[in-house]
């Protein structure tokens, strides 16, 4: 059974709705989303998208760079609350 990964849907949403990068395919899963231009409004839109898309509740107290700083961090945060 293939392990769940939120990354493909996260990449689509973030690059279509929240930040512009010249070459999304060259943006790595560990690259810094905050440095790439994700702001606080974008973070709130992202959290709402994740909660709707993946059926999880992400606690406000856990909104920190360790959880939202990269695609891999977001994926791990979603998995933590999906179980």
- Which pLDDT value is given to residue 3? 80
Domains annotated on the chain, with CATH? 7-16+30-82 (1.10.1200.10)
Residue 21's pLDDT is: 87
* Residue pLDDT tens, the chain, 83 long: 568 899 999 999 999 999 998 899 999 999 999 999 999 999 999 999 999 999 999 999 999 999 999 999 999 999 999 86
Short-list 27, 30, 29, 58, CA closest to 44: 58
Q: What is the rounded end-to-end Cα distance, in angstroms, of the chain?
A: 16
pLDDT of residue 4: 85
Structure pTM?
Answer: 0.92
């Amino acid at each position: 059974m293939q392990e769940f990964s939120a990354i493909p849907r996260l990449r689509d949403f973030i690059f279509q709705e929240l930040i512009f990068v010249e070459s999304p395919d060259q943006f790595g899963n560990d690259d810094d989303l905050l440095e790439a231009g994700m702001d606080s409004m974008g973070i709130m839109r992202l959290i709402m998208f994740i909660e709707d898309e993946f059926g999880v509740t992400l606690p406000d107290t856990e909104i920190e760079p360790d959880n939202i700083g990269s695609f891999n961090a977001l994926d791990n945060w979603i998995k933590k609350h999906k179980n």
